[in-house]
Structure 1
């Protein structure tokens, strides 16, 4: 399932936009009341109208506290926010001419915002309420004496008020709907990213099941080979031949390695967790992993700097060990002459940098590492190593970055939160 956290974040941003719009409404109402009362000399019920502005300010302060202290904003809450704005506007209009007030069309602004932010039932409810308010204002309102009402054309005060209302609504709609749609686009992009991650994780699970099944199937033939080799080592005709004896010893060593690989696959897939959890330190874990890889691969030149300090207790994770081995293998394949590894601690994070002097990563892989089956090796099945690395790191709360050092080659940087390595939540 895809998480809905991105939708919650979008709703919180939309709530913040409504709060900003309400500040503009409160300031605009104060400016309009002052202009009408002081400049146009039109008598207004100042106490009641200023009380409505004070209500909007108080509502905004409460909304800001709610925005800062709670993560989730529901459709019902956004609906109530808009409903309170409609109520405040209705009271102001009833105190200043009712339906004849040129600012009556601000109801439409509330409906448009609701159509963008709310679910269908909420929008139609808002339409019904604003329509009822409009009709009610034709009968229940306080009349105001409009001077120069006989003047025609644009100089009529009512026409000027309608123009100001139109201009204000148009500017606010452009400014805020642009930002709201940007929030929605970011939410959709985040949802698409989460769906992609879910698909990749499902792919990893299927690969893990296949690997676990293959490991089980390989157990029987490996055991058979082990029995046959043990019998051969006891045969006098073979033990007298030193070259054959050495070949048998090499075969036993390779067979033991195959058994260790199968055991590691089963451990990583959770098949053999009963042996107990192995706890170690970050420095010891890195030293052991690098030493095992170096002994097995025998690189021509290898630089290793473990500067992780102070040390931190962690759980020895075979999956993470395989991640590091995969990155080192890729570096060695690209640069057989030299591979460098640097480990550092940055606060509560382990940073591991693997550098090589090879040709570097193509631009498409460097820009989006971890996509399956994207490789320059030109063989079937290639391109899964980096894909598995990225998914294991994601499970542990870490990340992978690819850089191109100034001297050429490539640098793969693994960052891992220590909380994830110690068995806690990343």
Structure 2
């Protein structure tokens, strides 16, 4: 749905987060485990193994680790291809050991799941699919072709064929499920992380704009005295340099520029003080400020204000928080983007609640996405009509996610519906998307907050 051009590609490059040193340590652990397993099988249970080939396979892993340690820097991070090649190497090395030790008759065949499922958490979908297909081919081959496990007396240790087939089916199911689950959950975690980062960036920007007024007011106040001193000194110089026209002209120029600085700071100080006073403002003022960037975009935005019986003439003053302004602004932007001609911003208040409902006359939210609205990067295939109307629009849903996150941070609850919803009203022209934002009144009403007292007189600090 709505889109904000704040996007972090981190979630698409998770493989670059993995250090080579981490993979080396994991491989050392695997090498140690393989040596222990082979030693125990040969010494304790007297199994007849191809020890030369087994130790050759383990030695190849050791050599690979030593090369990685001495050739590459300690802080190297793996690219997608490098990570994939390392995991493929480990998978092939493990499958060769299993081929030498009974294939699927070896209970350690379960370890083939490890490299694939772990890599699914850090690699792209394409790399995960490649590893999954490779693992399926390996386990299928090992089910038919392998060296048998023999005891000291020459007996072959075999699992009944039905259990071998069952192990193969279980491996396939586990591989598909665990890989898909690992990739999907990790992808959603990083998507949410990227979206939250974009949300905090947007809030930080809005907060800086809000704080700028206070800085301007303070600067105007502090610079007023030195400028007055400069003006007074320049006036005295003009009188004393009456017989030196060239120097007197310079003194007049200094006074003119001091007057100019005074006028600039006076206007800036007035704007800064106005900003400080607007830390609380009437509900209508805050909503119209939030919608202001979208008033001249060719759509009609209508504001409606309705109070509870007995409160209609007393519009609440609410806190002018950046998250409220930015959140409402994103919702209005979404409505304007997808409306035909009209957008309605309906406000209602009562003793215990304040609600804002944003309605448009567009096609509404896609029915199959209603339950997911507010999740980041929710996208859908666009129709040909939508592509022609807005060819540049991607519709990742990040704007609605940011709006929802910011408004919920201020204490609001959001609900999304289409014009057929029971709370859409009796006017059929309001047939499009509906977003309702409801706050408990004590969460944003300035009368319930200490912020309402900010604009009072300065009090002397008793510590000075």
Higher relative contact order at CA 8 Å, sep ≥6: structure 1 or structure 2?
2
- Give the TM-score of the pair, scaled to structure 2: 0.37
Q: What TM-score comes out, normalization by structure 1 length?
A: 0.39
- Specify which structure has the higher proportion of helix: 1
